[in-house]
Amino acid sequence: MDWQFGGIPLHPLFVHLTSVAVPVAALTAIVVAVWPAARRWLAVGAPIIGLVALVSVPLATSSGEWLEHREQETALLERHTELADGLLPWSIAVFVLLLLWWGWHRFGTARMTSGGALRAVAIVGPVLLLTVGVVSMIEVVIIGHAGAESVWKG
């Protein structure tokens, strides 16, 4: 695919989308994990935010690979592209956990009567959401910083 519009590479556009969508999805994961009122307020919006973030990552990486083949290879650019490949699994995890967390609270809790299972999910769910939320935000910052260095120092 030709990742340009009017002769201008689309990578910066997708990078900006990703650098906003992934942290917003991560913050959404953290908020719904620790604040029940937000979980009710966001409802199905939380997984939708996660889906937008998830879709943005392959767009950014694919357009970045296209652009990489048209730029001079440097160690900084190589580091940026290697780091960028690590964001997709975290974005998948954020989306899947947001979807499961929403589904659990929408359909699962009403059907569960056992206190042990409810307690386990009430502990494990937020811990996983917090973990993937924090790590995905850190990943975006590290990848973005490496990309900025490759542009401005490379």
For 46-60, the pLDDT digits (tens) are 999 999 999 999 999
Instruction: Please give the average per-residue pLDDT across 4-17, as a whole number.
Output: 92
Amino acid 73: pLDDT: 87
Give CA–CA dist 28/43, Å, rounded. 11
Q: For the chain, how many structural domains are there in total? A: 1
Q: DSSP letter string over 76-134?
A: HHHHHHHHHTTHHHHHHHHHHHHHHHHHIIIIITTT---HHHHHHHHHHHHHHHHHHHH
What's the whole-number average pLDDT of the chain? Answer: 91
| Domain residue limits at 145 | 4-152
* Band of residue 111 on the pLDDT scale cut at 50, 70, 90: low
- pLDDT exceeds cutoff 70 at 113: no
Work out the pLDDT band at 20, boundaries 50, 70, 90.
Answer: very high
